[in-house]
Each structure stands twice: as C-alpha cells, then as structure tokens.
Amino acid sequence: MSEPVLRVKNLKVYYYVEAGAVKAVDDVSFELDFGVKMGLVGESGSGKSTMALALMRMIKPPGKIVGGQMILGGTDLVKLNEEQMRQLRLSRLAMIPQGAMNSLNPVMRIDKQLIDGMLDHNVIMSNEERVKRVNELLEMVDLPPKVAKMYPHELSGGMQQRVTVAQSISMEPDLIIADEPTSALDVVIQRQVMETINRLQQRLGLSVILIGHDMGLMAQTVDRLAVMYAGRMMEIGETRAMFHRPLHPYTELLIKSLPVLENKGVFSGIPGITPSLLNPPAGCVFHTRCPKAWGLCEETTPQFVEAEPGRWVACHLITA
Amino acid sequence: MSTPLLELKNVTKIFGTKKEYTVALEDMTFAIQENFPKIVTIAGESGSGKTTMGMLMLGFYSPTFGSVLYRGQPLAELDRDTRFKYRREIQAVFQDPFAVYNPFYKVDNLLSIPIKNFKLARSKSEAHELMEEALERVGLRPEETLGRYPHQLSGGQRQRIAVARALLLKPKLLITDEPVSMVDASLRSTILKALRGLNRDFGVPLFYITHDLTTAYHISDFIIILYHGSVMEVGNVDTIIRNPQHPYTKLLVSSIPWPNPDLPWGGTEDMIQKSQVAFKKITGCKFAPRCPYRFDLCETKAPDLFMIEQDRAASCYLYRDNEVLKREELSRVFVEA
C-alpha cells in the first residue's frame, strides 16, 4: 500500500479561555489516501471546523495546536514555521471556504483574484500565460471566459463559489479542504458545485476533505466518512458501509435521525445535548447520550482502533 | 364559500426601477380558508419568489399590482382595530434565530412584549404562566430558558422560543420562512415537530417556505413549486415528490441529496448546467430555456395550469390536453390522496 497523502496522529487543538481549556479537537487520528474524498461530519461544536483550520495551520489565539502530528506527504505541518507553512498553502493544500461571498475581494476583478495566489507563491508568468491560465481555470469550473473581467457582485452565489473552487485548484494542490462549501446554496446549485468539485477531483487526482453536517450530501458525494463528536473521532469508514452498518451508536443515531423517503413524517432527533468541551464527560464523551452505554463507558475513554480493514471506531461495544 | 382568512388576488410584485426590474412574483392568486388545518409548502430555488410571497402575506411588502385581502378587506385599507386583529392572527417565524433577538435583552422579552401589546394577561403571574405554558408546548424547560440572554441559548432553543411566541398569540395562520435552514441537522427535527404539533393540536394552517424539499416532504400536506415568480406545479406533496411531472419539479426532486448512498442523484446534465439564463426576454414558459422537453409553443406563450390528477396540476404544455385549472381555484387540488 502506498503512503497516504495525509496522516493525522493524536492531534490536539485546545482553546484557552478564562474558564480553562476547551478541547475542540482531542486526540484525533486518521489517514487519507491519494485521490480519496473523505467527508467529515458532526454537529455544531463537534470540532470539525477547528479540524479544518488546524490542517491549514490557521488556528488563532486563544486556540493552539497542543500536540500531535499532521503529516502531508512526508512533512509534519505542525513543525513548520509560518513562512514554510505559507509556502505550502495553496501549492500543496488549499481550502474552499464556507461563504464565497465573504472570501472574495469585492473590488478586485475575478481574473486578478484567480492568479493572485500564484503570484504570491512566486510563479513567474508572462501576461499571455496569465490570461491563458485564468481561462483554463474558469473552464475547469464551468464558468464562461467573460467572468474573468467581472467583479464578485456580478456573479450569483453558485458562480462565486465556483470561483473559490478555481482559486483553490490554481496551483494543483494534493489536498483540498472544503468547509461546508454549499451550505448557503439551494439544492440544484449545490449539486452543480459538488459535481464540479467531483469532476476536478477525478481529473486532477485530488484528495478532498469535505466538512459538513448534511449527511445526505455526504451520502451522495464522498468515498469515506469520518464522524466527529465533542472533539473526538467516533468512527471512520467507507461511506456505503457506514450507512448500511454503522458500528458506533452515535453514527447509528445520526443516520437514523435523517429523513428518508419511505418514512414520511417521522422525526427522530438524538436526545440530549452536546456536552461542554470545557469539561467533557469522563470516559467516552458520548456516554451521556448513548442508549447503549454501560459501566465501562463512564470510566475509560475507548481507544480508536481499526475494527475491520479500513474501518476505525472508538467504542467499548466493539473493542471490549 | 365563506370569506377567506387571507387572499392573494392577482398579486404581482416587481422590484427595481422602470429600466431595470425583477418580477419577483407574477399574477399569484391564492386563498387560505380559516378552517384549513394543513401545512402548505412554498418551495423553489433562490429567486423563485417564495420569500416575497411570505412577505406579501405578512403585509411587509405591498403588491405592485393586485391586492392582498384579510377577511375580504385589502391590507392597505384596514382600520386600526382590524389591523390589530390581523397582526395577531397572522404570525411568523423567520429564518435567522440570531437576528430576531435583541442581544441586550433577556429572551423573556420576545414573549412578554406580545403579551403586553395584545393584553393577553391581567396580571404578572398570569403572564408568567402563559410564557411557561408556551415554552413547554415546544419542548423547552421554562426554568432553563427564561431569564437568559440570547447568546446563552443554542440556535435550536432560540428558534423554538420564536415558535412559542407565535403560539402564545393563538394565531389563525402561521407563516414560517426557512425556519430550520440555519439550525443544525440534528435539531431540525425538534423544531419541525414543534411546528407540526402547533398545526395539528390547534388546527392552525401553516405556510412553510423553504428550498429544502426533504423537510417539505416530511412536514407538509401540500406544495406549491415556484420558479421565477410563477407556479410550476401545485398539489399533494406525496404525489409530487414521489412522482414529479413538471420538468422543473423533476430537476428539483432529482437533486435532493437523500441520505442513502444507494439512491444517487438522477436527472439530466442539460438542465443542471444551464442555470444561468437571462430572464428579461422570456415571454413563454419561464423554464423553457432549461427544459429538455421544450417545443415551439413553450417559447411563445406562458402555459396555464393543467390538471394532471385530481390532486395536482402543472403549468406545462406537456399536459395541455387536460382540463385547465383556473388560477383562482388553485386550492382545488389541495385534496388528500
């Protein structure tokens, strides 16, 4: 088996506030192979967005990466200094932000915004090459060439989001992190954007981490699924297998709470609320809401282990 | 037939100037009877006019042409007392559970102000009782919610307080504009449950404005699909979602991301990619430029609504041999399957 594109090991990201340390990402490990799309799901406050920021090394104080490794193609991102990290952003790993409208510069034309990052990374291009590259990028995300000379406000939400996708692939990185790229868009546009990302992923052989809470979208788009809860990784596996046979009770409840066509009018949420990350419950973080919790769950934190090939889970029901 | 509670009569809403304008809603006629305890979804993409329709019903926009009638009287001409009654009987729950609260006041305000304004309680203790009762109805514990500030509550809790507020006034009609779109997926079901409980237990008709057909399917009885201000398909939600007939509805339904990896997105590439079309020059069917079934007629004249089955109709020439559903009889298709 080849070396994975990304290997995260025992990553810990804490926010230090007056009341103590908020363990937003606590001891998370996973691997991502080349050309794989992985979905990272969880409720609000599960640490999924912190995870994304940590991978980009964009955690700001009071947040801090406290421990662990993030190895991207042999380089441990945690150990890099800011300048080295800046060189890697966009060229090796890039991010598609959540709200395109807030991440594009309103007073800069699209063509300039597309190559701005490349120029910043000292890519030397003649004027003709720049025009050519802009057109190539626009074509890759199915936007007409005239968009190059437009301003963001002249584009619809879906088109703006495609521009951010084009930006992220401008230097053909190995890994793209997409943080809820379509949560502000409606179903048809959401589908267009996702299909664009899928096509690029195949064409350029990218690895993608798609962050979100929409399990429906995940079921439609990703190869592997990672489920986070209260800062910890609960389960990782192949999407289809996870949906058909969830191993962790949390995954099971999450999937059960989804509205499906056959079951009209049945609403089942997950009872209880997410615990405070300041004082997470002892033992398994999910035991307070878990219908299958037993003695051991309140005492020790379950290990995150490979239960089956390619299937990792942190639950005493599986490991004990 | 009795006078409807609320009625849209040939309502058209146009935004912009004479030179540059957008028709947000075009010639909409629709009536809601008082004793119609059903949930009706108004669905469509961004820019379909669904929110405009809600705003017109709430009297926040005035129509460019046509009129909105409350118990037979145009909204603009209501006298003080009737207007007061209208404000109480037609209630709303909005999209953003963060924006409806003043961060400086405790959440109690959202509940106590309507009690004061509409003189619902004679004493402070009676007011308190009302508030507690309303909160319990939506599954919140009063002792955990009252006396708190908005930032101390989750989005789901805040949205449920907004539902409790609407409930307090015992409305005759509830208009909800994307009430769950900003709430976490796991909390959606509790809010939808609260809304449906309100509808079932008090017999309040409910308008659910959304672009999310998954929740629309689960919560509502009937659906109106809008596209650029015009009705595309209307009728029973089960029939329409399970077996869409209008090409636009087909596109929408096939794009629903069902949480099932074995049920992939369907539909044709053609419709999906051609979304950016200019709308100014369109005289015929608005969906024609994206429609794979279009023919000459579609581009010359906008189609009427044609009955497909007794519980639904579509504005599409593919069904032109069927009986025409008159616009003013739109609710005729609102029958149980």
pLDDT digits (tens, 9 = 90+) for A112-146: 999 998 998 888 889 999 999 999 999 888 888 99
Determine, yes or no, domain membership for A150.
Answer: no
CB B148 within 8 A of CB B159: no
Average pLDDT taken over every residue of chain A:
88
Q: How would you write A97-145 as a 3-class SS string?
A: CCCHHHHCCCCCCHHHHHHHHHHHCCCCCCHHHHHHHHHHHHHHCCCCH
- pLDDT tens digits, one per residue of A252-266: 888 887 777 777 777
Average pLDDT over every residue of B16-23: 81
Which one of A228, A261, A263, A266 would you mutate to disrupt binding with B, by most B Cβ within 10 Å of its Cβ?
A261
Q: Report residue A8's pLDDT band, with 50, 70 and 90 as the boundaries.
A: very high
Q: CA nearest B217 in A: which residue?
A: A264
For chains A and B, CB pairs below 8 A equal: 115
* Whole-number pLDDT of residue B2: 77
Does the pLDDT value for residue B278 go beyond 50? no
- What kind of architecture, by CATH, is found in domain B221-337? 3-Layer(aba) Sandwich (3.40)
Chain A hits for B198, Cβ within 8 Å: none
Angle between helical axes of B124-137 and B108-117 (0-180°, round to 10): 120
CATH code, domain carrying A22: 3.40.50.300
Q: What is the pLDDT of residue B330?
A: 81
CB contact under 8 A, A156 and B276: yes
Res. A268: pLDDT tops 80: no
Strand partners, B231: B226
Q: What are the residues facing A94 on neighbouring strands?
A: A176
Contact between B177 and B144 under an 8 Å Cβ cutoff? The reply is no
Q: Where are the domains of chain B?
A: 221-337
Q: Tell me the CA distances in angstroms from A307 to A9, A113, A211, A296, one per residue in order.
A: 18, 46, 24, 18
Amino acid B271: pLDDT: 52
Sequence length of chain A is 320
Residue B67 and residue B83: Cα distance in Å, rounded? 16
- Nearest Cα to Cα of residue B45 among B240, B251, B280, B238: B251
Inside any domain, residue A189:
no
Is A12 part of a structural domain of the chain?
Answer: yes
Phi, psi of A3 (to 5 degrees): -65, 135
Q: Which residue of B has its CA nearest to A268?
A: B189
Q: How many CA atoms lie within 13 A of B94 on its CB side?
A: 9
- pTM of this structure: 0.81
Q: Give the per-residue pLDDT at B261.
A: 77
Question: SS3 of A21, please?
Answer: strand
Does the pLDDT at position B21 exceed 90? no
- pLDDT computed for residue B236 by the predictor: 92
pLDDT value at A2 more than 70: no
Measure the CA–CA gap between A301 and A290, rounded to whole angstroms: 14
Binning pLDDT at 50, 70 and 90, where does residue A215 land? confident
Quick check: A269 and B265 CB within 8 A?
no
Which of B190, B214, B220, B260 is the best substitution to test chain A (most A C-beta atoms within 10 A)? Answer: B260
Q: Terminus-to-terminus CA distance in chain B, angstroms?
A: 23
Residue B2, Cβ neighbours under 10 Å: how many?
Answer: 9
pLDDT of B279 > 50? The answer is no
Exposure on the CB side of residue A206, measured as CA atoms within 13 A: 31
In the predicted model, is pLDDT for residue B280 greater than 60?
no
Return d(Cα B1, Cα B72) in angstroms, integer: 12
Please determine, for residue B269, whether its predicted confidence score (pLDDT) is greater than 70.
no
CB atoms under 10 Å from CB of B317, counted, come to: 22
Q: Using a CB-CB distance cutoff of 8 angstroms, which residues of chain A are in contact with residue B211?
A: 186-187
Cβ(A63)–Cβ(A145) below 8 Å: no
B144-189: pLDDT as tens digits: 888 888 888 877 788 889 989 988 888 999 999 988 877 776 677 7
**Span A73-84, mean pLDDT?**
90
Which residue in A has a C-alpha nearest to residue B190's C-alpha?
Answer: A269
At residue A74, the pLDDT reads 86
- CA-nearest residue to B178 within chain A is A186
Domain span at A20 = 6-88+224-237+244-319
Q: Which two tokens stand for residue A253?
A: 């409840």
* Whole-complex ipTM: 0.73
For chain A, which residues lie within 8 Å of any Cβ of chain B, measuring from their own Cβ?
43-44, 142, 156-159, 185-192, 195, 213-221, 239-240, 243, 254-255, 257-261, 264-270, 273
Q: In chain B, pLDDT over 70 holds for what percent of residues?
A: 93
What are the two backbone dihedrals, phi and then psi, of residue A17, each rounded to the nearest 5 degrees? -115, 175
pLDDT value for B310: 87
Average pLDDT over residues A185-193: 81
**The pLDDT value given to residue B85:** 92
pLDDT at A318 > cutoff 90: no
The kind and range of the H/E element at A188 are helix A187-204
Q: Cα–Cα distances in Å, from B324 out to A33, A123, B319?
A: 57, 63, 9
Question: pLDDT tens for residues B99-109?
Answer: 888 889 998 88
Number of structural domains chain A divides into: 1
From B158's Cα to the closest Cα of chain A, the distance in A is 14
Give contacts of B214 with chain A, Cβ < 8 Å: 216, 259
Considering the domain boundaries, does residue A159 fall inside one?
no
Q: How far is A177 from chain B (nearest CA, A)?
A: 21
Model confidence at B142, pLDDT cuts 50, 70, 90, reads confident
- Which residues of chain A are within 8 Å of residue B253 when distances are taken between CB atoms? none
Mean pLDDT of chain B: 86
Minimal CA separation from A119 to chain B, in Å: 31
- Exposure class string for B280-290: b at 16+ Cβ within 10 A, else e: eeeebbbbbbb
